[in-house]
Structure 1
Amino acid sequence: MKINWFTVIAQVINFLVLVWLLKKFLYKPILSAIDEREKKITDKLKDADAQKATAQKDQDEFKKQQEDFDQQKKALMDKAVADANTQKQQLMDAAKTAADGLRTNMEKAAKEKQENDNKAMSGKIQQQVFAITRKALADIASISLEEQSANTFNKHLKELKEEEKKKFIDAFKSNSNSILVQSAFDLPAKQQGEINDAVNVLLSADTHLQFKTSPEIISGIELSTNGYKVSWSFSEYLNSLEKNISETMKENAQPEQEKK
Structure 2
Amino acid sequence: MEINWFTVIAQIVNFLILVWLLKRFLYKPVLKAVDERKKKIEARLEDAAMRKAEAKKDKDLFRQKNEDFDKERTAKMNLAQEDVNSEKERLFKKVRNESNALRSKFENSFKQRKQELTDSLKRKTKDEVFAIVGKTLSDLANANLEDQVIHVFIKKIDNLTEVEKSKFIHALNDKHNPVAIKSVFDLSASSKQKLEKAIGQFAEKQLDFNYKLEAELLSGIEIETASHQMSWNIESYLDSLSRDSITM
What TM bracket, shorter-length normalisation? 0.5 to 0.7
Q: Which moved more, 1:198-207 or 1:41-50?
A: 198-207
Task: Note if contact 2:223-2:230 (Cα within 8 Å) is conserved in structure 1.
Answer: yes
Indicate conservation of the 8 Å contact 1:149/1:221, yes or no: no
State how 1:165-184 maps to structure 2 within 5 Å: 165=165, 168=167
How far residue 14 of structure 1 moved from its aligned partner, in angstroms, is: 4.3
Q: Amino acid of the residue matched to residue 114 of structure 1?
A: K
Between 1:64-73 and 1:40-49, the stretch displaced more is 64-73
* Structure 1 counterpart of 2:23, one-letter code: K
Pick closer, same or farther for the CA change 1:120–1:203 going to 2, 3 Å: farther
Amino acid at match of 1:191: K
Contact 1:150–1:191, Cα closer than 8 Å, also in 2: no
Whose RCO is larger (CA < 8 A, sep 6+)?
A: 2
- Structure 1 residue 3 displacement after superposition: 5.5
Tell me which residue corresponds to 1:191: 182
Residue 126 to residue 14, structure 1, CA distance change in 2 (3 Å): same
Question: After superposition, what is the alpha-carbon deviation per residue over 1:138-186, rounded to whole angstroms, capped at 9, x for unaligned?
Answer: 222269xxxx9999777644421225435x489x69xx79xxxxxxxxx
Give the match for residue 92 of structure 2. 92
Runs of 5+ in structure 2 lacking a partner? 184-191, 208-215
Q: 1:68 to 1:198 in 2, by over 3 A?
A: farther
Query: Deviation string for 1:95-119 (max 9, x for gaps)?
Result: 2222211111111111111222123
Question: Per the alignment, do residues 159 and 242 of structure 1 end up closer, same or farther by CA in structure 2, a change over 3 Å counting?
Answer: closer
- TM-score using structure 1 length: 0.59
Partners of 1:22 and 1:5 lie apart in 2 by: 25
- C-alpha distance in structure 2 between counterparts of 1:189 and 1:229, whole Å: 9
Moved more, 126-135 or 2-11: 2-11
* Higher alpha-carbon Rg: 2
Contact 1:157 1:198 in 2 (8 A): yes
How far residue 45 of structure 1 moved from its aligned partner, in angstroms, is 0.9
Maintained 8 Å contact 2:149/2:221: yes
1:240 corresponding residue in structure 2: 241
Aligned to 2:130: 130
The equivalent residue for 2:212 is none
Deviation at 1:41, TM superposition (A): 0.5
Aligned to 2:103: 103
Distance 2:182 2:162 in 1: 25
Distance 1:221 1:22, change over 3 A: farther
The answer on whether the counterparts of 2:182 and 2:223 sit within 8 Å (CA) in structure 1 is no
| Alpha-carbon distance change, 96 to 232 in structure 1, aligned in 2, over 3 angstroms | farther
State whether structure 2 residue 161 is matched by structure 1 residue 161: yes
1:32–1:164 CA distance, 2 compared to 1 (3 A): farther
Matching residue's letter, 1:72: E
* 1:53 is aligned to 2:36: no
Once residues 88 and 56 of structure 1 are traced to their aligned partners in structure 2, the CA distance between those partners, rounded to angstroms, is 47
| Identical counterparts, % of pairs | 37
Greater alpha carbon shift after TM alignment, 45-54 vs 114-123: 114-123
Shift of 1:13: 3.6
TM-score w.r.t. length of structure 2:
0.61
